[in-house]
Amino acid sequence: MKFKDYKYERPNIDAFVKKGEELVENIIASENILDLEKYIDEFLTMTGHIETMDSLCSVRNSINTKDEFYDKEQEFFSENSPSVSNIETKFEKALVNHKLRRELENKYGKYWFKKMEMSLKTFSEEIMQDLVVESKLSQEYDKLIAGAEIEYDGKVYNLSQMSKFGQSLDREVRKNASIAVDNFFMANSKAIDDIYDGLVKVRDKIAKKLGFKNYVELGYYRLGRTDYNSEDVKEYRKQVFKELVPVANEIRRKQATRIGIDDPEMFDFSLEYLDGNPTPHGTKDELVLKAKKMYEEMSNETNEFFNFMLDGELMDLETKPGKMGGGYCTSFSDYNAPFIFANFNGTKGDVDVLTHEAGHAFQCYYASKFIKNPRLIWPTLEACEIHSMSMEFFAYPWINLFFEKDTNKYFHSHISEALTFIPYAVCVDEFQHFVYENPDVTPKERKEKWRELEKKYLPYRKYTYQKCFDEGTYWYRQGHIFGSPFYYIDYTLAQVCALQFYLASKKDYKEAWNRYISLCKLGGSMPFTDLIKEVGLENPFKDGTIKKITEELLPIINKIEL
């Protein structure tokens, strides 16, 4: 079945609520484990259908944000998602308080019940209207960014399409493109500030209604973090600042020397080599065919998976007007199928996003063969990102298919970026902690704080010609800040784990791959720290982990012949 044939129909929320209430009552009254399992499975199937319709609507809206039908359907889900959450809460409450809980834990796993206990702290009927406001504000940001129309050199481009100009060998082109992007954000600065201010205020309001001091703890609960807290993350940020910021600064210094710039601007760092950045060879269809060859050879499991994605046309990869920016992977429960969304723009990022999102999609596809509880197929987000980031490294033996003579440049660039990215993401994380610990500060004070943190973690950034960004607004570009607070640090925790898989693969590829497969198979059956322990990865929170990995990686980068 092709993705275009997946049928969307607006769910009947009233019928869902009525049936959900009935199933919850049956669960509470049931004294027979077999009856309980039947009611639970029926509830999960029913909510899986709602989630499928929500995902279908979201994907089709992402592909064309100007489609009025799916725009209205997005509004429908925003308005009704609190009603769905309300029934979910009643379902979870019925299970965690059930007299047969021990027997249910034996069937479904203790971790699921621990997750539900945490989830129950994130919702009450009192916040239902606030959730509608939060969802609509987040969508408003997405729509604004997706609708960017930037005039440059006589043509109109979206933000994704502007990326290629940032990598031009001509410094004037890089500079002028960066100014054009900066002007877009300057023109929309008031609108973005208003959206974010609204999001911060409503999230703080939700947190306080639920009995939290502020949104920080609630944000962690929403992400299902049962095994670490904000203090652990704070200590981790200190480790990054001490061990990795100096390394990232040195990588940037060498880059500036390599491209012949004595006093580099922020826009200069998009260019990595004097003869141009590594660029994949081929059209979108040709790159997909190369990926098909790679996954057919990588393993039997990836061969089956990627052909399933191709046969179902479960990827939308080309950038086009009105399409939401970025890349993501989602899934459709009714069809047991993942979906990859991306915006190819002719840069090396096309290969990065394809392998990255394929890592997510593969884990979902593979784990669903072994895990029957749909709530445990996907793990928490930091564990999810191990699958995606590690897949980028497991693709290394086939990178020459995509980059040909630029293969070594790709290796050098990709590993360097893996290290320089972490301080940026940590900067995003510390900024968000400041924002939600101080929800009443003004937009101007937020910008000042961002610029202060940028100078701490990313001191090489200079915005002489980008006045909006120089005022502390670069974070406007980071959609996670608006849609998924505190998510962004997960990429760094996962990167530390993915780099361990890479180093292991250099010693014994098959052994490392088997451990990766084992991790994918476990899905979300354990919390993050237990999952990585299970497959022999060192905990990123442990002092010394980052230093050890960095010391192994730097000689590898330095030995790559450019």
pLDDT digits (tens, 9 = 90+) for 364-378: 999 999 998 999 999
Helix axes 407-437, 443-457, angle to 10 degrees: 140
Residue 562 has pLDDT above 90, yes or no: no
pLDDT digits (tens, 9 = 90+) for 277-332: 999 999 999 999 999 999 999 999 999 999 999 999 999 999 988 899 889 999 99
Q: Is residue 446 part of a domain?
A: no
Mean pLDDT confidence for 158-164: 91
pLDDT digits (tens, 9 = 90+) for 241-291: 999 999 999 999 999 999 999 999 999 999 999 999 999 999 999 999 999
Provide the CB-side half-sphere exposure for 150 (13 A, CA). Answer: 26
Mean pLDDT confidence for 143-153: 94
Q: Is residue 451 part of a domain?
A: no
pLDDT digits (tens, 9 = 90+) for 429-471: 999 999 999 999 999 999 999 999 999 999 999 999 999 999 9
What is the distance between the alpha carbons of residues 337 and 317, in angstroms, rounded to a whole number? 17
Beta bridge partners of 150: 157
Sheet of 337-344, strand order = 315-318, 337-344, 328-332
Residue 67 has pLDDT above 90, yes or no: yes
Range of the domain at 110: 3-134
Q: Is residue 226 part of a domain?
A: no
Output the CA angle 234-237-242, nearest 5 degrees.
Answer: 130
Beta bridge partners of 61: none
Contacts of 24 (CB under 8 A, 6+ apart): 43, 87, 90, 91, 94
Residue 33 has pLDDT above 90, yes or no: yes
pLDDT digits (tens, 9 = 90+) for 525-549: 999 999 999 999 999 999 999 999 9
Domain total of the chain: 1
Q: Is residue 357 part of a domain?
A: no
Q: Is residue 130 part of a domain?
A: yes
Look up residue 471 and give its DSSP letter.
Answer: T
Q: What's the token pair of residue 560? A: 């790559």
Q: What is the CA radius of gyration of the chain?
A: 23
What is the distance between the alpha carbons of residues 477 and 276, in angstroms, rounded to a whole number? 25
243 near 546, Cβ under 8 Å?
A: yes
Residue 352 has pLDDT above 90, yes or no: yes
Residue 223 has pLDDT above 90, yes or no: yes
Residue 382 has pLDDT above 90, yes or no: yes
CA dihedral over 486, 488, 491, 493, signed as positive or negative: negative
Q: Is residue 73 part of a domain?
A: yes
Q: Is residue 127 part of a domain?
A: yes
Q: Tokens 């009935």 map to which residue?
A: 22
Q: What percent of the chain has pLDDT over 90?
A: 98
pLDDT at residue 286, rounded to an integer = 97
pLDDT at residue 365, rounded to an integer = 98
Q: What percent of the chain has pLDDT over 70?
A: 100
E strand residue ranges, 175-226: none
Q: Under DSSP, is residue 150 helix (H, G, I), strand (E, B) or coil?
A: strand
Mean pLDDT confidence for 405-433: 97
Beta bridge partners of 331: 338
237 near 220, Cβ under 8 Å?
A: no
Output the CA angle 49-54-56, nearest 5 degrees.
Answer: 95
Q: What's the token pair of residue 399? A: 């990178």
Residue 408 has pLDDT above 90, yes or no: yes
Q: How confident is the model at residue 102 (pLDDT cuts 50, 70, 90)?
A: very high
Mean pLDDT confidence for 14-23: 97
What is the distance between the alpha carbons of residues 286 and 282, in angstroms, rounded to a whole number? 5
Residue 491 has pLDDT above 90, yes or no: yes
Q: Is residue 203 part of a domain?
A: no
pLDDT digits (tens, 9 = 90+) for 182-205: 999 999 999 999 999 999 999 999
Q: Phi and psi (nearest 5°) for 337?
A: -135, 135
pLDDT at residue 344, rounded to an integer = 95
pLDDT at residue 155, rounded to an integer = 95
Q: Phi and psi (nearest 5°) for 188?
A: -110, 10
Mean pLDDT confidence for 22-26: 98
